[in-house]
Amino acid sequence: MKFQLTLNLVLAAFALLAHAAPISHNEIATKSAKGLRLLSLAEGVDPVWKTEDEKLELMRAGIKFFDVTEVYELEKLAPVENDFSVAATFPSPSHQSALAPILAAVSTANMQSNLNSLTAFNNRYYKSTTGASASTWILNTVKSITSSRSDITSALYSHSFVQSSIIVKIPGKVASTPVTILGAHMDSINLSSPTSGRAPGADDDGTGSVNLIEALRVLVAAGFTPSTPVEFHWYAGEEAGLLGSQAIATAYKNAGTKVKAFMELDMSGYFKPGTTEVMALQADYIDAGLNTFLKALITTYSRIPWAMDIPCGYACSDHASWYKAGFPSSFPYEAITGNDNPNVHSSTDTTSVNGFSWAHSIEFAKIDQDRVLELESVFKLAVVSKVGELTPLLNVPSVL
Ligand SMILES: *[C@@H]1O[C@H](CO)[C@@H](O)[C@H](O)[C@H]1NC(C)=O
Ligand SMILES: [Zn+2]
């Protein structure tokens, strides 16, 4: 008994050595008031304080992190409940005939038009006025798409910075939970001059953002009434440490909201010319069962095969925020890392970048010759349309 107690004390002392004491409320209040940010740079390692300049240097060096300044205390309010040793299970795809007309209605012209509007903002940086205006633009766009449906709600989700996230909720016909969430990030960044520099963010993450807008449009047009709720999220501040998605995922966890599945679309419009076109499934910070389901969906509904990406790493995109909150997450990406878009986070992330292969235009081969010129501008979005096909599928329309 005595030995046991001593051993426990020794183990407790070791645990204290491995992890510093939790950061106090007072320390967070004082340091964040001075403009410091609390960054979590690796799994299981205590977060560290950095200045905004140091944070930007990390971003320029390509080092990913969660900026946990505002969620550190909130994350400790409720435990993470899901058991990651048990993969989530999902049914086999079985709604091919119901989905066929919905998928056929996905319009690359609409996506291009919406992408033109998003890239017209000088940048969509989370601290810039144009970044805030881009939030309002997305809100107005989704409100207009859903105006015929009084049951669907669209709202801004405010943060401590000027850019807001946007949440669209389609209620469940049978149950109010669990929720299926499709996400993309609406912000963009010019790493050399974040606040005022040009950052069209066409691919990162304009493509994922317009995939979601178009998926919402075709579902609403089809009278989509899911059995369990479906939500569409456009996150603010992803580039600055997954700010929007962490705030929302933590709030859902603390409210006891059950999430069935989360899928992130962050870049879907590019693959390196000469490489084989794939949908690259992220292999880490995801749910293996959800990935199995995604593989079946891609095999059933897309002309492009899936492939496993190399590990994306810690805090790679918004799916990591939902994973951290204990929910099944997934992230199909435009290409295997290395064959993805090299123009991100700069003024050259535009729709005219060389790299959207003509091979994608095969989808448009049936289009009238008169529209060949138009093809040149829309072929770039061919991959987008294919990933766009995925978005309605996570929660198949059991009630149409
Ligand atoms: C950032 O924007 C400025 C001005 O718009 C531009 O000159 C510069 O090349 C951009 N930096 C990057 C990394 O694209
Ligand atoms: Zn991105």
| pLDDT, tens digit, 9 for 90 and up, residues 84-96 | 666 777 667 666 7
pLDDT band of residue 255 (cuts 50, 70, 90) is very high
Amino acid at 213: I
Rounded to the nearest angstrom, the distance between the alpha carbon of 344 and the centre of ligand 2 is: 8
pLDDT cut 90: percent of the chain above it: 52
Arithmetic mean of pLDDT over the chain:
82
Q: Whose CA is nearest to atom 4 of ligand 1?
A: 197
Bridge-based pairing state of the strands 230-235 and 165-170: antiparallel
Q: Which residue has the higher pLDDT, 292 or 320?
A: 320
C-alpha to C-alpha distance for 323 and 369, rounded to whole angstroms: 47
Q: Which ligand is nearest to the CA of 341?
A: 2
Query: Mean pLDDT throughout 213-225?
Result: 86
Q: Residue 153 has what pLDDT? A: 98
Rounded to the nearest angstrom, the distance between the alpha carbon of 196 and the centre of ligand 1 is: 9
pLDDT score of 162 more than 80: yes
Rounded to the nearest angstrom, the distance between the alpha carbon of 126 and the centre of ligand 1 is: 17
Q: What is the pLDDT of residues 182-211, one digit of tens each?
A: 899 999 999 999 999 999 999 999 988 998
Query: Mean pLDDT throughout 375-380?
Result: 23
pLDDT band of residue 121 (cuts 50, 70, 90) is very high
pLDDT score of 397 more than 80: no
Q: Whose CA is nearest to atom 3 of ligand 1?
A: 197
Prediction pTM value: 0.86
Q: Which residue has the higher pLDDT, 159 or 364?
A: 159
Q: Residue 85 has what pLDDT? A: 63
Query: Mean pLDDT throughout 100-126?
Result: 89
pLDDT score of 286 more than 80: yes
Q: Whose CA is nearest to atom 14 of ligand 1?
A: 346
List the structure tokens of 49: 């304080």
- Tell me which CATH code domain 96-396 carries: 3.40.630.10
Rounded to the nearest angstrom, the distance between the alpha carbon of 132 and the centre of ligand 2 is: 17
Q: Residue 355 has what pLDDT? A: 57
Least confident window among 59-68, 143-152, 254-263:
254-263
CATH 3.40.630.10 domain locations along the chain: 96-396
Q: Which residue has the higher pLDDT, 8 or 127?
A: 127
pLDDT score of 379 more than 50: no
Amino acid at 330: S
Mutate to test the pocket of ligand 1, among 124, 125, 128, 192 (most ligand atoms within 8 A of CB): 192
Query: Mean pLDDT throughout 235-248?
Result: 98
Rounded to the nearest angstrom, the distance between the alpha carbon of 349 and the centre of ligand 1 is: 11
Q: In what order do the strands lie in the sheet with 306-308?
A: 306-308, 279-281, 332-333
Q: Whose CA is nearest to atom 9 of ligand 1?
A: 347
Tell me the residue ranges of DSSP E strands in 250-359.
259-264, 279-281, 306-308, 329-330, 332-333
Q: Determine which helix (DSSP H) or strand (DSSP E) holds 390, and give its type and residue range.
A: helix 382-390
Q: Which residues line ligand 1 (CB under 6 A)?
A: 190-193, 197-198, 346-347
Q: Residue 187 has what pLDDT? A: 98
Q: Which residue has the higher pLDDT, 368 or 93?
A: 93
Q: Residue 289 has what pLDDT? A: 85
pLDDT score of 215 more than 50: yes
Rounded to the nearest angstrom, the distance between the alpha carbon of 58 and the centre of ligand 2 is: 16
C-alpha to C-alpha distance for 122 and 160, rounded to whole angstroms: 22
Q: Which ligand is nearest to the CA of 315?
A: 2
pLDDT band of residue 277 (cuts 50, 70, 90) is confident
Rounded to the nearest angstrom, the distance between the alpha carbon of 144 and the centre of ligand 2 is: 26
Answer whether the bond into residue 83 is a cis peptide, omega within 30°. Answer: no
List the structure tokens of 37: 């940010």
Q: Determine which helix (DSSP H) or strand (DSSP E) holds 366, and give its type and residue range.
A: none
pLDDT score of 380 more than 70: no
Mutate to test the pocket of ligand 1, among 190, 343, 350 (most ligand atoms within 8 A of CB): 190
Q: Residue 16 has what pLDDT? A: 47
Q: Residue 173 has what pLDDT? A: 81
C-alpha to C-alpha distance for 295 and 99, rounded to whole angstroms: 17
Question: Which span out of 11-20, 249-258, 370-379 was modeled with the highest average pLDDT?
Answer: 249-258
Q: Are 316 and 302 in contact (CB under 8 A)?
A: no
Neighbours of ion ligand 2 (CB under 5 A): 204-205, 266
Q: Residue 12 has what pLDDT? A: 46
